[in-house]
């Protein structure tokens, strides 16, 4: 499913300061991205100005912040404040140009980033933002006695969280916040990061919190808060909610989800993001993007060989998610393992290939004059039987295209469990 259109900044805007962990000077500039390529950090202080995509695949560390890295080793630390502000501003596509190893911590909150983005303005792009929800509750425990999460379907993005620290200024705090309709700006953005004076020396010896001070961190000693005042009585909780928003922004999607978090952490937030992404891949919900009537227009197959019922996710030239509802009325069940009906493995792969064919047909001119022929299959594996009553969910991605020859990778799931996978090679030809 898809939500609103991508948005980017209208003009560049720059902020500068020091990194909270590195202690090094840093300047950050938000640059417009009219190509709707998502959020990328560009390290202009490094040779070649490498770009690091802000997505789950590039998360490398989650200790006291979320770090992104390229396979070649370039990193950007502590990205969650920037990502939370971008989410709060509704910006889903931007180049974050960074002159330093991590964004400046500024005052320790999300607010100054959000204000800079508001000053930069925003403009709508042509492409849609994917919309992510869950059809049934998702539960996740991250480590014994550590973070716990539940995510349920919602008509908006909401976070309810509980934190608990053995400190008189914090104790146990709970709050629930809608992150749509501007509530992030007023209720979450001003909340600052926090730390404990007793841990400062140990952290700095490990290269952490080297830039932390009373100017950018709420610092607590044994008796209370060393800063002049808190911005909210539950500022600690609100900042943790902002961190959840920032880490879940790595999904690159609009969230129609209610997240309930107990003792959230960056490690837990990222684990939740992975679980939501996996659930979305394997258990799509909602109205079809392409229904059976449209499928009949694109595919040459007809009963009993038409094995795709609908398409529920689609990224042009990239990936597609299609469904096949398996019923006892399928003609192949009459002779394939009578009395113990199992869908033939070759037909599972055929259904996967038909979903892939729909992905390719969208990427070519004059699709009515073309047909997709599959040339080869590699690394085919069947993991478990498919039976009547199952719903097959196929995800197929385009790996490579050279002229009329295309390589794809497909996976099939039932109830979130992998049942089949294959690499497919196809050729687009004239009818």
Instruction: Count CB-CB contacts under 10 A for residue 38.
Output: 16
The residues annotated as belonging to the active site are: 266, 336
Alpha-carbon distance of 396 to 383, in angstroms, equals 17
| DSSP-derived secondary structure for 216-261 | TSEEE-SSSB-SS--SSTTHHHHHHHHHHHHHHGGG-SEE-EEEEE
| pLDDT of amino acid 382 | 95
- Stretch (H or E) spanning 118: helix 111-120
| pLDDT of amino acid 288 | 63
pLDDT in tens, 254-295: 899 999 999 999 999 999 999 998 887 766 655 566 667 777
| pLDDT of amino acid 1 | 47
| pLDDT of amino acid 367 | 63
| pLDDT of amino acid 138 | 87
| pLDDT of amino acid 285 | 58
Tokens of 246: 């920032």
CATH of region 8-282, choose from 3.40.630.30, 1.10.1740.10, 3.40.50.720, 3.30.1700.10: 3.30.1700.10
Domain with CATH 3.30.1700.10 in the chain: 8-282
Q: What is the DSSP pairing of strand 2-9 with strand 194-196? A: unpaired
Q: Classify domain 292-430 by CATH number.
A: 3.10.129.10
Ranges of residues in the chain with a pLDDT under 50 are 1
Domain with CATH 3.10.129.10 in the chain: 292-430
């Amino acid at each position: 499913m898809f939500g609103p259109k991508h948005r980017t900044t209208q003009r560049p805007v720059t902020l500068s300061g020091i990194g909270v962990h590195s202690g090094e000077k840093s300047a950050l500039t938000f640059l417009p991205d009219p190509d709707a390529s998502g959020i990328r950090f560009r390290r202009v202080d490094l040779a070649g100005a490498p770009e690091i995509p802000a997505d789950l695949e590039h998360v490398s560390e989650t200790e006291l912040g979320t770090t992104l890295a390229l396979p070649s080793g370039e990193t950007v630390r502590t990205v969650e404040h920037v990502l939370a502000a971008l989410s709060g501003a509704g910006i889903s596509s931007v180049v974050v140009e960074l002159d330093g190893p991590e964004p400046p911590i500024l005052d320790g909150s999300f607010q100054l980033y959000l204000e800079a983005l508001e000053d930069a303005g925003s403009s709508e792009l042509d492409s849609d933002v994917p919309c992510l929800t869950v059809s049934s509750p998702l539960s996740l425990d991250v480590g014994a006695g550590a973070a716990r999460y539940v995510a349920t379907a919602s008509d908006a993005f909401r976070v309810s969280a509980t934190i608990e620290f053995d400190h008189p200024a914090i104790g146990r705090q709970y709050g629930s916040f809608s992150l749509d309709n501007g509530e992030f700006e007023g209720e979450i953005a001003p909340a600052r990061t926090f730390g404990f004076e007793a841990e400062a020396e140990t952290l700095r010896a490990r290269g952490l919190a080297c830039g932390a001070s009373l100017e950018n961190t709420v610092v607590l000693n044994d008796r209370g808060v060393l800063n002049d005042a808190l911005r909210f009585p539950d500022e600690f909780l609100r900042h943790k909610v902002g961190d959840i928003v920032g880490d879940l922004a790595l999904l690159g999607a609009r969230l129609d989800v209610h997240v309930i978090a107990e003792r959230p952490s960056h490690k837990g937030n990222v684990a939740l993001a992975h679980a939501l992404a996996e659930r979305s891949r394997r258990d799509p919900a909602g109205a079809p993007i392409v229904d059976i009537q449209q499928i009949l227009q694109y595919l040459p197959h007809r009963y009993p060989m038409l094995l795709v019922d609908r398409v529920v996710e689609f990224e042009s030239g990239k990936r597609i998610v299609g469904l096949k509802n398996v019923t006892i009325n399928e003609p192949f069940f009459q002779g394939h393992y009578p009395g113990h009906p199992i869908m033939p493995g070759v037909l599972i792969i055929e259904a996967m290939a038909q979903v892939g064919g729909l992905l390719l047909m969208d990427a070519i001119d004059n699709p009515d004059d073309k047909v997709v022929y599959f040339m080869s299959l590699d690394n085919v594996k069947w993991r478990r039987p498919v039976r009547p009553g199952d719903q097959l969910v196929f995800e197929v991605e385009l790996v490579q295209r050279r002229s009329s020859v295309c390589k794809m990778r497909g996976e099939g799931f039932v109830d979130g469990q992998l049942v089949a996978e294959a690499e497919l090679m196809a050729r687009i030809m004239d009818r």
